[in-house]
Chains A and B, each alone.
Chain A
Amino acid sequence: MPGFLKEFFNRNGTLMGSLMLGLVLFWTVGLIILPQLSMLDFSFRPNLPPPEIGGPKDVYTLENYKYLIYGPEGGSQDYNAVDLKVFFRTLVAAVCVTIFNLILCYPIAYYLGQNKGNHIRVFALMLIIPYWINEILRAFALRIIFGESGVLNTLLVGSGIFDTPFDFIRNDIALYAGLGYAYILLMIFPIYNVIESLDHNQIEAARDLGAPWWRIHKRVVIPYAKPGISSGCTMVFMLSAGALAAPQILGGPSSLWFTQLIYQQFNDNSDWPQGAAYAIVLLVTCILLVLALMRVFKVNMGDIGK
């Protein structure tokens, strides 16, 4: 038995030590690492019926990735325009949702972080309650509001702003509002946590030295809150790029989200390797994008998730 393992068991006792080690190994290796590797492996294989798996046809291939770029072999187009368009639209829209959320949430996080009192507790409670409601039901609530005869259209038509009801769902406005709505709390909490620890005297000092309010934010608050802002943005971006419920319920009939393509490959086409390949592409692109942005804004990985 290696020395470090012996020490570990000495410190925790044989029973407790092996229980702990077993659980941690099961979680990290059995639930996190191996399934991801298995999915990666799967994405390089052709789609075969179960009896042929492991047979001579079961060889590694790039077919599934080629499909995303070039479309079906012998197709009429040079590139898989439909899927690629959905893919880039998903990424761009997720970035837009993230920016929208940041603009919406930064002031409230700042307000909650720098003020004390009973009403702050009430606000915090009001923030948390929507987060406990089912994701599907939150999307459903927005669907009621944005529907053709929904509350918003009734108001707009009734007040004479529009002559005819505006189709929020077909124009994807409902979708973006829904995605933003779903992840508000994930943006607020990290920023709030950081800003709460900012000494108010620093802001007072900046004000005494004559800085206008926007410069105080630019030079004092935002640099201080950067870890919180970046972890909030990372979470919102990853979750909205990977969202499935909101696009399914609030998305227009003609516009798809990339996760919906993955879902279709799995459930409608039963082409698991293809779906796995798409999932890998989504995961890797999102991670690379986040890492690149973190490099640009000079944030460390260790700050995320605090």
Chain B
Amino acid sequence: MTTDKIIRVSIWVYLGIFFAYLLGPLIIMSATAFNSPSFPRMTPWECLTFNWFGELFRDERILNGIWNSILVGFGTVILSVSMGLAGALMLTQIWPKLRATYYTIIIAPILIPGVVLGISTLVFWDRINRMLGLGADSFLSNGLFLTIIGQSTFIASYCMLVLVARLQRYDIALTEAALDLGATHAQAFRKVLMPFMMPAILSAAVLAFLASFENYNTTTFTFGEYPTLTIELAQKVRYGITPAISALAFMIVALTVFFALVNEANIKRKKMVAEARKDATVGELAGKIEVPGLISRNPAAIALIVLVIGVATVTASAMTYSPDQCIADVQEQKRLETEKRIQELRDRRAKEAAEKAAAEGAEGGATQTAPKPSNNSGFGGVFAPNTLQNEGADDGASDEGAAGSSNNSGFGNVFDPNALGNDNN
């Protein structure tokens, strides 16, 4: 009995660690979007602010990137869903000897590294472009075309997998019946097969759009003059990160959770409707599927409503709330702390200088070697090595240097290495 209990406890501990690893980073990243320091951080928490969202929406490159991503996404969805559908239909018809080879070919793009796909697309279409004698600005070497082509190569494989799963349940006799009744092939396809495939086509389209939206490895070789959102983000993250990116991440997380809950609530509702239909008369049905019925016994729907209310409250308070006072307070506090530190430093230097002078005086009174530390204290500690280092660290905001760490170890974690730089801004 006790071993059973131990196993149960360890399972829950394991689940806890696992989901902390999975969700923790996202939660922390989302939280940094609301903290005021210019380097995304959770600790120390300074001021609640919504300014990073404003900054995000003023960023031309991000907005342009979102627009390009949507363009590429739509192109990719259309191309890869149609190729995936054709590929899936072909799989059911191709004769068995070739089927294994064919399947390997169309599944391979999933396993080929994205970098390789991007390079091969770039090299191949560059060559086609040269063969046709077109210039460097033709549509074939245009970033939009190349990105759509490159992404579709492997996204079509995902779509194909989704569509094949549905197609396996399709009764080919339905098409045959339509043809016998005088429909043309195009009509049979449009009126019989398409409606059956529609749910799978929709989920393939959503999958394709998401895969396209977040793709980086392939796009980074093909984007040309159409940098997508992911490319812009990568540039930003590599050369200095700001909480504005956290703000974007928070919105993406919130949207994802929102749609996941909508989907979940929908599934649950359908299930409940089906259950209700099983043992209800037509008259009872109308009463059972009203809005209250949707919420009761549907945790996803409740979570959804809570989420929406939460977002609405946050947005409303963001309109009225201003963190300026708090930021000013924190800066004032930091200024005081800095002054205190400078004062401490100055005292220490002065003491050291005095000791040194005393020692030297004892040795033989060599006054010509002016002790360096006393110089610094003479200038009021502004040129103290630590201060300079901190400013440097703030300039290279992406990588807060070891300067910060040396301070931290000395003064505990209260002092923020960037704080000094912020004061100067």
Chain B residues with Cβ below 8 Å from A301 are 104
Chain B residues with Cβ below 8 Å from A148 are 399-402, 404-405
Q: Is B110 an interface residue (CB 8 A)?
A: yes
A126-B22 contact in complex given A13-B186, A140-B245, C-beta closer than 8 Å? yes
Chain A residues with Cβ below 8 Å from B24 are 145
Contact with A along B71-107 (1 / 0, CB 8 A): 0000000000011001101100101000010111111
A38-B120 contact in complex given A128-B260, A263-B220, C-beta closer than 8 Å? yes
A28-B106 contact in complex given A108-B18, A137-B29, A244-B220, C-beta closer than 8 Å? yes
Contact with B along A226-246 (1 / 0, CB 8 A): 000000001100110111110
Q: Is B422 an interface residue (CB 8 A)?
A: no
A136-B233 contact in complex given A108-B15, A163-B409, A263-B220, C-beta closer than 8 Å? yes
CB pair A143–B111 under 8 Å, yes or no, is no
Residue among B109, B161, B229 facing the most chain A CB atoms (10 A cut-off): B109
CB pair B111–A234 under 8 Å, yes or no, is yes
Q: Is A42 an interface residue (CB 8 A)?
A: yes
Q: Is B217 an interface residue (CB 8 A)?
A: yes
- Bound Cα distance from A234 to B113, whole angstroms: 12
Chain B residues with Cβ below 8 Å from A243 are 113, 217
CB pair A31–B119 under 8 Å, yes or no, is no
CB pair B28–A143 under 8 Å, yes or no, is no
Chain A residues with Cβ below 8 Å from B383 are none
Q: Which residue of B lies closest to A151 (CB)?
A: B42
Chain B residues with Cβ below 8 Å from A139 are 237
**Residues of A in contact with B, size category:** 35 or more
Q: Is A194 an interface residue (CB 8 A)?
A: no
Q: Which of B123, B405, B413 is A42 in contact with, Cβ under 8 Å? A: B123
Number of A-B residue pairs having CB atoms within 8 Å of each other in the complex: 268
Q: What is the distance, in angstroms, from B378's C-beta to the closest C-beta of chain A?
A: 32
Chain B residues with Cβ below 8 Å from A32 are 105-106, 108-109, 153
CB pair B83–A16 under 8 Å, yes or no, is no
Q: Is B200 an interface residue (CB 8 A)?
A: no
CB pair A245–B234 under 8 Å, yes or no, is yes
Q: Is B203 an interface residue (CB 8 A)?
A: no
Which residues in window 371-413 of B have CB below 8 A to A? 399-402, 404-405, 408-409, 413
A143-B237 contact in complex given A32-B109, A35-B123, C-beta closer than 8 Å? yes
Chain A residues with Cβ below 8 Å from B208 are none
Q: What is the distance, in angstroms, from A228's C-beta to the closest C-beta of chain B?
A: 15
Q: Which of B86, B95, B152, B189 is A24 in contact with, Cβ under 8 Å? A: B86
CB pair B119–A144 under 8 Å, yes or no, is no
Contact with A along B18-52 (1 / 0, CB 8 A): 11011111101100100000011111000000000
CB pair B252–A134 under 8 Å, yes or no, is yes
- Bound Cα distance from A39 to B153, whole angstroms: 15
- Bound Cα distance from A121 to B213, whole angstroms: 26
CB pair B417–A143 under 8 Å, yes or no, is no
Residue among A104, A148, A165 facing the most chain B CB atoms (10 A cut-off): A148
Contact with B along A123-163 (1 / 0, CB 8 A): 10111111011111111111111011111001001100001
- Bound Cα distance from A210 to B238, whole angstroms: 56
Which residues in window 181-215 of B have CB below 8 A to A? 184-186, 189, 210, 213-215
CB pair B29–A282 under 8 Å, yes or no, is no
CB pair B216–A135 under 8 Å, yes or no, is yes
B-binding segment of A62-70, A72-80, A272-280: A272-280
- Bound Cα distance from A70 to B113, whole angstroms: 25
Q: Which residue of B lies closest to A22 (CB)?
A: B86
Q: Which of B110, B123, B130 is A39 in contact with, Cβ under 8 Å? A: B123
A283-B113 contact in complex given A145-B25, A242-B217, A266-B119, C-beta closer than 8 Å? yes
- Bound Cα distance from A149 to B257, whole angstroms: 29
- Bound Cα distance from A50 to B135, whole angstroms: 12
CB pair B252–A238 under 8 Å, yes or no, is no
Which residues in window 259-295 of A have CB below 8 A to B? 259, 262-263, 266, 272, 275-276, 279, 282-283, 286, 290
Residues of B in contact, count (CB < 8 Å): 99
Chain A residues with Cβ below 8 Å from B229 are 134
CB pair A142–B25 under 8 Å, yes or no, is yes
Q: Is B249 an interface residue (CB 8 A)?
A: yes
B-binding segment of A4-12, A198-206, A215-223: A4-12
Q: Is B1 an interface residue (CB 8 A)?
A: no
Q: Which residue of B lies closest to A27 (CB)?
A: B83
CB pair B116–A164 under 8 Å, yes or no, is no
Q: Is B11 an interface residue (CB 8 A)?
A: yes
CB pair A245–B86 under 8 Å, yes or no, is no
Q: Which of B103, B112, B130, B217 is A283 in contact with, Cβ under 8 Å? A: B112
Q: Which residue of B lies closest to A155 (CB)?
A: B43
Which residues in window 184-225 of A have CB below 8 A to B? 184, 213
Chain A residues with Cβ below 8 Å from B28 are 141, 144-145, 151
Q: Is A302 an interface residue (CB 8 A)?
A: yes
Q: Which residue of A lies closest to B14 (CB)?
A: A107
Q: Is B147 an interface residue (CB 8 A)?
A: no
CB pair A181–B21 under 8 Å, yes or no, is yes
Q: Which residue of B lies closest to A262 (CB)?
A: B115
Chain B residues with Cβ below 8 Å from A108 are 14-15, 18
Give 12 A-B pairs besides A28-B102, A35-B153, A262-B115 with Cβ atoms closer than 8 angstroms: A23-B83, A23-B87, A129-B257, A136-B234, A140-B237, A149-B405, A151-B42, A164-B409, A238-B111, A242-B217, A302-B100, A305-B161
B interface vs A, CB < 8 Å?
A: 7, 11, 14-15, 18-19, 21-26, 28-29, 32, 39-43, 82-83, 86-87, 89-90, 93, 95, 100, 102-117, 119-121, 123-125, 127, 130, 149, 152-153, 156, 161, 184-186, 189, 210, 213-217, 220-221, 229-230, 233-234, 237-238, 241, 245-246, 248-249, 252-253, 256-257, 260, 264, 299, 399-402, 404-405, 408-409, 413, 416-417
